[in-house]
Amino acid sequence: MQFPGFKHPLTGIVVPLSAVKSNKSVGIGEFTDLPALGRWAVSTGLRLIQILPVNDTGFERSPYSALSAFALHPVYAGLEDFPETKSSGVIAVDIKTLKADLEASLPENRNINFDAVLTGKMRILRSMWDLAAKADIKASERWEKTNSWVRNYALFSLLKKENGLKSWLEWESCRDPSDRELAELWKKRKKEAAFWVWLQWRLESQFKAAAEELASLGIALKGDIPILINDDSADVWAERSNFHLNLRAGSPPDAGSPEGQNWGFPTYNWNYQRNNDFRWWHDRLGQAAKFYHAYRIDHVLGFFRIWAVPEEDISALNGYYEPSVPVNRHDFEALGWDDERITWLSRAHLPGNELRETFREEAPRVQAMLEQIGLDDLWRARPDGPAEKEVAASTLSDESKDRLIRVLRNRTLLSIGEDIWLPSLNYRNTRGWNSLSDGDREALGGLFHRTGEASEALWEETGRELLGMMKRDGGMLICAEDLGSIPPSVPGVLADLGILGLKVTRWARKWDEPGLPYIPFNEYPELSVTSSSVHDSTTLRGWLALEAREDRELRRALELAEDADLSGSSGVKKVLERLQDSASLIATYPIQDLLALDSFCVTVNPEDERINIPGTVQESNWTWRMKVGIEELMERPGLTIAIKALCGRRKRSTIVVSRNFGDMIK
């Protein structure tokens, strides 16, 4: 959809669709709730609604772990608006019963019982399919012919159900189908897979109608495009040439994650996609354009370089940035280094006495996993491992497993292909590095420096190419989640392409200056989106009550007294008022942060309103739902006035908007 050509800074909200609540919705937010949410937004002066991904994730609650880059999640189906509901009193009763059961299972009528909602809805949707009119089935078949992705998704869903919802990696058959085999499978099992085609046709129609109604209200709908896709997905199962299954994406170690993060998703085979003119991405963005006026690129840094982790590893410590300019055999030959020295640097070594002291009675079992160097009392990793998963699956004690994994990480060089290497993340603290003479360390360090500089140039070239490819796809406005350790080229590439970056208050600081002062809000780049918090952080109210309670720099940035009270609704209001004066073209706030302006609309403990805690497995993750429904929000005049005042503040802003939004999507 074409992004409206607004000529003034915008204010919007961010909300997982799952969290939206209305009198009609059954246990979770639904596509059909969006127009009502839009009418409330219009009444407050908000002009943009941003939702998190709504792709099918099966029983996985996280919207960032999709079974398909194209298919919509049935859990968001607005059951009451299906034609089959209106024509069948039995189904209408089933919906009321499911809703009552869900409400009874959640006495507070707040959090989401995701599994129960999905199970109940799928049962009812199956009943609807059984009653679907022949004309509707014919219509879904016509729709299928113009949506080629749905065939593989429908087959994948059918086979996944028959295999007890196991990953395709665990199926006994159809694990690696060719294009010809997929075509034959479709002919053979089309009737059985037709339910998923019909369901996606219905869901798309419902979501598209909701998006069009938002547009008629003057509300822009912004989506979220995760950069990665689950390996257990229809896309990877049917079109795995688009991916590198031997690598997993993640992030390098930092203060919060000392072993880094291994997200478990395969990386992209960009060379293959490049040779196919990025067809998969163009199709994906074309599907998104049916609903969205704008979209957020999740982890945009991954389009410049992704932290790639060998598939056989558990942690992310042995990862590296892909792409990177490697060191090759010719580089080492120029230094006069032979194969023996390269092996010494690229494979972990362990003297026999150290091995026996470290592993004691388990030393023989550790030796069996390594290789001995000739007849010397010296051991090293095999050319093929052992990798972390092999060690974890061994019969060694947990203590010995941890020790062996640490030993195996002691490598100066990481082999990433035949005769090419990259420096390990911690190469300066490795046995191989410390065994080198000062001259050799200087020579190798210089080599690493030169390839590092070349990699920086490669990242800029890659990011410009891939984001330029996405920029050519239609009239959607593109925004980027550019948080984290950013390559120097990122801001320039985003600016050149007219892609908005992200400024989250708590992290928009001058990290290289004493006291870590906040960047003045009026110095935010025009091409940016201001936000008070994100779905992976505490809410604004939670942040002010905990981490920022004694933050003098924050009060200085807000131009308040050092002892100013930032607790409760008044504190939230003070921060939002100042953020509304930012130079960003768009300001979007998680709906919790705006609802906090009215104490009736929030829970006592702000932690109860957190959506997700990254890197954790908790029952509360991805289950938050609004305390009050949309209908109740319409009856909170104080909240409406407060949000109107914020939006009016931005419209009256003295910021000079140098770009029309319409010009930025060309």
Helix (H) or strand (E) holding 589: strand 586-590
CA 122 to chain centroid: 26
Domains in the chain: boundaries: 1-224+274-296+468-666, 322-451
The 8 Å CB, 24+ separation contacts for 204-210 are 204/72, 204/143, 204/290, 206/31, 206/32, 206/77, 206/78, 206/81, 206/82, 207/31, 207/54, 207/72, 207/76, 207/291, 208/290, 208/291, 210/31, 210/32, 210/34, 210/35
Identify the architecture of domain 1-224+274-296+468-666 in CATH. Alpha-Beta Barrel (3.20)
* Distance from C-alpha of 137 to C-alpha of 586, rounded to nearest angstrom: 42
Q: 494, 482 in Cβ contact below 8 A? A: yes
Neighbouring-strand partners of residue 249: 308
> Which stretches of the chain score pLDDT less than 70?
106-110, 474, 652-666
pLDDT at 542: 95
Under DSSP, the state recorded for 2 is P
Cβ burial of 60 (10 Å; 0-12, 13-18, 19+) is middle
Under DSSP, the state recorded for 509 is B
Strands 371-372 and 501-504: unpaired
* Sequence-distant (≥ 6) Cβ neighbours of residue 81 within 8 angstroms: 32, 206
Token pair for residue 137?
């089935």
* Distance from C-alpha of 308 to C-alpha of 322, rounded to nearest angstrom: 6
* Distance from C-alpha of 310 to C-alpha of 316, rounded to nearest angstrom: 8
Under DSSP, the state recorded for 637 is H
* Distance from C-alpha of 351 to C-alpha of 410, rounded to nearest angstrom: 13
pLDDT at 394: 97
Sign of CA dihedral 130, 131, 134, 140: negative
